[in-house]
Each structure stands twice: as C-alpha cells, then as structure tokens.
C-alpha cells in the first residue's frame, strides 16, 4: 500500500494501533496536542510533552524566513500545542540537522530568535542534538506542566455544545500565498507577518482550562476544518459551522479576492493560524463573552451535533456542504 492512499492521519492512526501504550501513569498518549503523564505529585500536577518537526523546503523556505524568526517560530508552534491543553510550557530540547554550507550567522541568529521566544514565555532550553544533513531540519520537544483537572483534551465535546475559535483565521495561509507569489519585500506586511511570526495563545489556553467552562480544545495548526475534524473524531460527535461567522481580519478581507474566488477557503482550510478551537455548553455563553472581551477575541462559529449527523458547513444562503478537501495533510 502507498502512503499517499492512507494519508498522514491514516498513518498516525495505524501507528497508534501498533504502539498501544501500557504504562498506567500515561493519561493521554497519541491522539492529542500533547501527551499527558501522571508524575504522582500531590495537587494533581501532570507533565505535558509535545514535539514538532520543521523541514526546509516543506515547512519553510530560507528565502522567505530569516533565521531569527525561524528560531522563534520553531518554538512557538510547540508552545501552541501546550496552549491547546491549557498547560504551562517549561523546558525544551532542540535537535538540528545542518547542511555543511550553512553560514554560522544563520545558526547564531536562529538561536537569538529562539532565546527571545523562550524568554517571552519563560521556557528554558535544556538540551538537544546536532547532525549534518542535506536540508535544515528542526525538531523541538517541549515539556510543560498543568493541573490535571484544568487540562482540556480533544475528546470531551458534548452534543449541544457551542464551538468557539479565538482570533481570526486564514491570515497566515494568505500571507504564505502572498510570500510565494510576491516574495518577502512586496506583500502586505500584516498577513506575511502572521505566517512568519505566529503567537501561541498560552494565556488564553490557561484561562479557558482554569475556568472549567470548556469541554474540549485543540489548536488550529493544519486548518480549521481538519483540526475541527480531529476534535470531533476524538469526541465521537459531529458539528455544523456557520461559514459567515468565521472571524476574518480586515486585512484578510481586503486581500483575499486577489488570491481566491472563495472568500472563506483559506480561513477554512489554510493552516498555521495557531488559534484555539474549543467547545463549551450553551449555559456558558455569558461567561465566554466576558472572557472574549477581557482577553483575545473569541467567536462562536458552530455547534456540536450527534456523530451520525456528520460535519458540515452552512453558507450564508442556507446551503449546506460537507468539506471535501479539509486542509493540509502530508502525503495527502
């Protein structure tokens, strides 16, 4: 069988079956934004672990992103997975694959970005590994902590819950399209910057976890639809999303029609927003609006349905459709 036929997530599902975990202290293994391990501490403190890989030519291009931003971004995409659990990031390890001709200044600027990013979120680098390789390869493994009762998983969404998302969607994907077409110098800065310098929603994730309002959460890294689908699958539920409620930034609305006929396409299927997608019972609407006002923007975009009703989008004119191409998938 070809990998293309099973896709990235089909492959992960098989790995999950092959490698079923047996250690009783594992609270959450494969299948969420971070693994959760019980360390037997009083006060229900648990350890969170997540890892992400960035490969030159696949995730980034050295002609678009400078090493400083690349260093920060490498860390921030991992921080976003800890945010999605409602946890606090603490320590990380970094492994680098470095081509022989890479200038030393690239590595030193990369670490400067990494250092500033780490300082901002009070995380420490504690180790890593270094190897020669054909392309730049960056792998970070991030450790965090959280209180067990405050954590949010992909599973947990209940039929009747509201579906919310933070911030605006599609900016990073539109920024990437613009970078590909126009290069670094010419595009609208705001959109390009969203792609190059995402910001992880650590504070918001912790606030959502601490209040115990939400039932499930995931970060939007691959695209709203595909990440919503992961949450729905783990929770064994369906959902409907109202397309015209999807939060779009002003700058996205200004530029999208130059790049796509469909105004919502990149907001639905583009990746790298690093916003939080979560579910909460309808009785919490008032509290969540208050949180939305006091912190980052939060928008109610849909509702959770029984699994048999599936997953679909409702357009402004009332027409429904089930998304075919959900988002970015490696090998897909």
Contact residues: ligand ADP, CB under 6 A: 12, 15, 30-33, 52, 81, 221-222
At which residue do the structure tokens 């089930």 appear? 322
Provide the minimum distance between the beta carbon of 30 and ligand ADP in the complex, in angstroms, as a whole number.
Answer: 4
Q: Which residues pair with 140 in a beta bridge?
A: 52, 94
Greatest pairwise CA separation for the chain in angstroms: 59
Could you tell me the two tokens for 220? 């939007």
Provide the minimum distance between the beta carbon of 270 and ligand ADP in the complex, in angstroms, as a whole number.
Answer: 14
Provide the minimum distance between the beta carbon of 155 and ligand ADP in the complex, in angstroms, as a whole number.
Answer: 12
Closest CA to 27 of 3, 5, 45, 9: 45
Contact between 219 and Mg ion per CB under 5 A: yes
Residue closer to Mg ion (CB basis): 81 or 171:
81
Three-state DSSP class for 127?
A: strand
Provide the minimum distance between the beta carbon of 26 and ligand ADP in the complex, in angstroms, as a whole number.
Answer: 12
Instruction: Region of 223 please: left (phi>0), alpha (psi -120 to 50) or beta.
Output: left
Residue 105: CB atoms within 10 A of its CB come to 9
Contact between 272 and Mg ion per CB under 5 A: no
Residue closer to ligand ADP (CB basis): 161 or 222:
222
Contact between 33 and Mg ion per CB under 5 A: yes
Provide the minimum distance between the beta carbon of 226 and ligand ADP in the complex, in angstroms, as a whole number.
Answer: 9
Q: Site residues for Mg ion, window 44-83 (CB under 5 A)?
A: 81
Residue closer to ligand ADP (CB basis): 30 or 290:
30
Provide the minimum distance between the beta carbon of 285 and ligand ADP in the complex, in angstroms, as a whole number.
Answer: 27
Find the radius of gyration of the CA atoms of the chain: 20
Could you tell me the two tokens for 279? 């579910």
Partner that binds at residue 31, options Mg ion, ligand ADP, none, CB closer than 5 to 8 Å by kind? ligand ADP
Residue closer to ligand ADP (CB basis): 81 or 273:
81
Residue closer to ligand ADP (CB basis): 33 or 243:
33
Please answer whether residues 158 and 283 qualify as being in contact, where contact means their C-beta atoms are separated by less than 8 angstroms.
no
Q: Is 57 exposed, middle or buried (0-12, 13-18, 19+ CB in 10 A)?
A: exposed
Site residues (vs Mg ion, CB under 5 A) = 33, 81, 219, 221
């Amino acid at each position: 069988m070809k990998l293309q036929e099973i896709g990235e997530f089909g492959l992960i599902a098989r790995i999950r079956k092959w490698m079923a975990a047996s250690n009783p202290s594992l609270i959450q293994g494969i299948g969420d934004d971070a693994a959760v391990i019980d360390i037997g501490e009083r006060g229900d403190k648990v350890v969170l672990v997540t890892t992400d890989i960035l490969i030159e030519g696949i995730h980034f291009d050295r002609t678009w992103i400078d090493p400083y931003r690349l260093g920060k971004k490498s860390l921030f995409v991992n921080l976003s997975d800890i945010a999605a659990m409602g946890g606090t990031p603490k320590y990380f390890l970094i492994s680098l694959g470095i081509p022989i001709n890479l200038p030393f200044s690239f590595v030193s600027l990369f670490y400067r970005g990494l250092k500033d990013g780490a300082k901002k979120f009070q995380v420490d680098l504690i180790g890593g590994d270094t190897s020669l390789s054909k392309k730049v390869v960056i792998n970070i493994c991030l450790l965090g902590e959280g209180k067990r009762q405050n954590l949010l998983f992909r599973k947990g969404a209940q039929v009747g819950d509201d579906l919310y998302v933070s911030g605006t969607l599609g900016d990073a994907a539109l920024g990437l399209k613009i970078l590909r077409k126009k290069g670094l110098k010419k595009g609208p800065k705001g959109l390009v910057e969203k792609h190059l310098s995402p910001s992880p929603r650590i504070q918001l994730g912790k606030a959502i976890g601490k209040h115990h309002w939400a039932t499930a959460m995931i970060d939007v890294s691959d695209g709203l639809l595909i990440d919503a689908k992961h949450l729905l699958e783990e929770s064994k539920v369906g959902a409907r999303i109202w397309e015209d409620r999807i939060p779009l930034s002003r700058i996205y609305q200004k530029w999208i029609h130059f790049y796509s006929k469909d105004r919502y396409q990149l907001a639905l299927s583009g990746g790298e927003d690093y916003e939080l997608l979560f579910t909460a019972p309808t009785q919490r609407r008032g509290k969540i609006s208050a949180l939305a006002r006091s912190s980052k923007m939060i928008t109610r975009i849909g509702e959770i349905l029984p699994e048999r009703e599936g997953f679909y989008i409702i357009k402004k004119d009332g027409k429904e459709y089930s998304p075919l191409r959900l988002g970015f998938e490696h090998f897909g």
